[in-house]
């Protein structure tokens, strides 16, 4: 359904549910509305297959809105010798820069050097990074003297600084990219529904023939037929695999990455900072993002996969302690405006080796009943993952052979510039409340809330303040303060009453409390 075909009122949920209720068998049904699921659905729809995506909560609710905001080949993967993954990711980076220029932007990183051998070693490694990028390169790595390093990173610790090395990668807004992919799916004729959890599989003669789903708002149950089902549920993929085979061995071993958001004055330039090796063997980034600075991340194994993970003991202090080694003036807990945690769907069963050594590559499994599960991977390679999964799904369902053409597919809203709405900005500004801020300190306008409800399938205050806008991830206290006004506008747009709005505010403020650095250790 294109924007024009959707009608003046946008993507109204009643109209989308009516499409779901039509007696039909979908060619491809995707479970999961994160990066991988959206990539699968867009690829399938672009090939001309009838495509349905069902998401239990909201698009990018889990891992896919909690990334380190990088589209990159992976400097650390280069150090590990995983050249094929680096080369693939660098090629995908170039495609994203071309196909989503409103959301993916080139970013220079500077690695400060304090030891005599740092510059030659880092310079050689980053030159190899450029070489692997080939024609997909953004800019060449450069060795910097101490003065140029200080100019690039004004708050870097000057004592003992020998210089640095600069190189190029890309940054992005993960949740907004997910929204763009969802809109692209509609543009291609597909259907996506959030707040529509899948409860199980429909089996016929031992084969997967569809799913059982339930409307998370009304409780209505749906039995949806499909020629093939793709399980793209991220860190929860094993749970979906066990619907068919309860005792199938697990494929995933989740780890979590914690991120802190602090004031822009801790990294006042335009360059990002890379710490090449922390005390636990990872890298740590400080990245200009959304007018603030993002610090992260950690890599801590955990045996569970909660929907709202919280930092474990010591993780916040680890990031602050590491940052303090490199910043002349370092942030404290009191200056952290938001803490968010993402879970990585790492491929690797059992309890061997630290999670930082597990593969970031993806794996596709086709079950005896024909369920196609795609696990692992990362945002940078979401498009390639989707193409590979749809190749397998096409074979399972014996669909007409059509090659993936998403490498050249411009995503919805694509336009040059830093506006996350891209070419949709004019449509946003035509709505009531354009230019009127929801709350002081936030860029979110009343018109953008209305647009989120009408065109971006936002159904809750959290959907708006966490993912259509990034307020929860930027400043949890400001987001909580803005919640009543967002709830009032959403209630108007969605036809809800004052009691619903009050419940939304209470639920969001309880959620936001967990994003504050002083909150108790969570699950």
* 80, pLDDT greater than 90: no
On the question of pLDDT at 305 being above 90, the answer is yes
Checking if the pLDDT of 521 tops 60, the result is no
Contact 199, 212 (CB under 8 A): yes
Largest CA distance in the chain: 71
pLDDT band at 9 (very low <50, low <70, confident <90, very high): low
Q: Which helix (H) or strand (E) holds 323?
A: helix 315-324
pLDDT at 145 over 50: yes
What confidence category does residue 29 fall into, taking pLDDT thresholds of 50, 70 and 90?
very high
Contact (CB, 8 A) for 390 and 28: yes
Residue 337 has pLDDT above 80, yes or no: yes
Which pLDDT does position 522 carry in this prediction? 45
In this structure, the strands spanning 142-145 and 163-172 are: antiparallel
Q: What are phi and psi of 231, to 5 degrees?
A: -90, 105
Which residue bears the tokens 């140029």?
148
- pLDDT grade for 22, boundaries at 50, 70 and 90: very high
When the pLDDT of each residue in the chain is averaged and rounded to a whole number, the result is: 93
Confidence at residue 358, expressed as pLDDT on a 0 to 100 scale = 44
Within 301-403, where are the H helices? Answer: 315-324, 382-397
**What does DSSP assign to residue 312?**
P
Residue 82 pLDDT > 90: no
On whether the pTM is more than 0.85, the answer is yes
pLDDT digits (tens, 9 = 90+) for 445-474: 999 999 999 999 999 999 999 999 999 999
- At residue 1 the predicted structure's pLDDT band, cuts being 50, 70 and 90, is very low
Reply yes or no on whether the pLDDT at 519 is more than 90. no
pLDDT average, residue stretch 47-63: 98
pLDDT of amino acid 6:
46
> What phi and psi, each to the nearest 5 degrees, are found at residue 499?
-65, -40
pLDDT digits (tens, 9 = 90+) for 273-290: 999 888 877 889 999 999
Q: Which residues contact 386 (CB under 8 A, 6 or more apart)?
A: 36, 38, 39, 40, 41, 42, 43, 44, 404, 406
Statement: residue 517 has pLDDT above 50: yes
Q: Which domains are assigned to the chain?
A: 3-63+176-251+357-408 (3.50.50.60), 92-171+253-349 (3.30.9.10), 422-513 (1.10.8.870)
Mean pLDDT computed over 294-305: 93
The answer to whether residue 354 scores a pLDDT higher than 50 is no
Q: State mean pLDDT over 138-153.
A: 96
Closest C-alpha among 445, 491, 488 to residue 468: 445
Q: What is the mean pLDDT of residues 85-113?
A: 96
Percent of residues in the chain assigned helix, strand, coil, to nearest 5: 40, 20, 40
Q: What's the rounded Cα separation, in Å, for the pair 489 and 97?
A: 34
Q: What SS3 state is found at 168?
A: strand
Q: Say if strands 272-275 and 284-289 run parallel, antiparallel, or are unpaired.
A: antiparallel
pLDDT of residue 277: 83
Query: Is 50 exceeded by the pLDDT of residue 272?
Result: yes
pLDDT in the model for residue 25? 98
The neighbour count for residue 47, using CB atoms within 10 Å, is 23
């Amino acid at each position: 359904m294109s924007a024009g075909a959707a009608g003046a009122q946008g993507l109204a949920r009643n109209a989308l549910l009516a499409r779901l209720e039509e007696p039909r068998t979908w060619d491809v049904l995707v479970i999961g509305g994160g990066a991988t699921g959206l990539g699968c659905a867009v690829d399938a729809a672009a090939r001309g297959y009838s495509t349905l995506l069902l998401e239990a909560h909201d698009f990018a609710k889990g891992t896919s809105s909690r990334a380190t905001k990088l589209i990159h080949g992976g400097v650390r993967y280069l150090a590990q010798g995983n050249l094929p993954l680096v080369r693939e990711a660098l090629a995908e980076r170039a495609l994203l820069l071309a196909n989503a220029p409103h959301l993916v932007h080139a970013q220079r990183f500077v690695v400060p050097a304090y030891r005599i051998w740092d510059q030659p070693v880092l310079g050689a490694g980053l030159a190899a990074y450029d070489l692997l990028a080939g024609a997909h390169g953004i800019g060449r790595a450069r060795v910097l003297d101490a003065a140029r390093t200080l100019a690039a990173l004004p708050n870097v610790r000057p004592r003992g600084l020998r210089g640095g090395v600069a190189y190029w990668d890309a940054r992005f807004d993960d949740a907004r990219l997910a929204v763009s992919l969802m809109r692209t799916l509609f543009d291609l004729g597909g259907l996506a529904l959030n707040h529509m959890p899948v409860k199980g599989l429909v089996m016929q003669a031992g084969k997967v023939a569809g799913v059982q789903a339930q409307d998370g708002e009304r409780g209505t149950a749906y039995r949806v037929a499909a020629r093939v089902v793709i399980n793209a549920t991220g860190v929860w993929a094993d749970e979906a695999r066990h619907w068919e085979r309860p005792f199938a061995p697990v494929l995933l071993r989740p780890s979590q990455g914690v991120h802190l958001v602090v004031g822009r004055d801790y990294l006042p330039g335009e360059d990002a900072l890379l710490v090449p090796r922390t005390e636990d063997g990872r890298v740590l980034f400080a990245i200009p993002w959304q007018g603030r600075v993002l610090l992260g991340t950690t890599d801590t194994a955990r045996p569970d996969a909660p929907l709202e993970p919280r930092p474990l003991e010591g993780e916040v202090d680890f990031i602050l302690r590491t940052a303090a080694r490199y910043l002349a003036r370092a942030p404290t807990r009191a200056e952290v405006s938001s803490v968010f945690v993402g879970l990585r769907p790492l491929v690797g069963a059992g309890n061997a080796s630290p999670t930082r050594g597990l593969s970031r590559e993806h794996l596709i499994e086709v079950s005896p009943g024909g369920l196609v599960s795609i696990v692992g991977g990362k945002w940078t390679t979401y498009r390639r993952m989707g193409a590979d999964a749809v190749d397998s799904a096409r074979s399972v369902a014996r669909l007409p052979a059509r090659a993936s053409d998403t490498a050249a597919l411009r995503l919805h809203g694509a336009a040059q510039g830093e506006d996350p709405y891209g070419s949709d900005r004019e449509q946003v500004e035509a709505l009531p409340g354009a230019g009127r801020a929801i709350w002081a300190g936030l860029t979110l306008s009343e018109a953008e809330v209305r647009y989120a409800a009408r065109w971006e399938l936002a159904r809750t205050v959290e959907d708006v303040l966490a993912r259509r806008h990034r307020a929860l991830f930027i400043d949890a206290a400001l987001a909580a303060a803005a919640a009543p006004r967002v709830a009032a506008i959403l209630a108007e747009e969605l036809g809800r009453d004052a009691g619903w709005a009050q419940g939304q505010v209470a639920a969001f403020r309880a959620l936001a409390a967990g994003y504050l650095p002083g909150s108790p250790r969570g699950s």
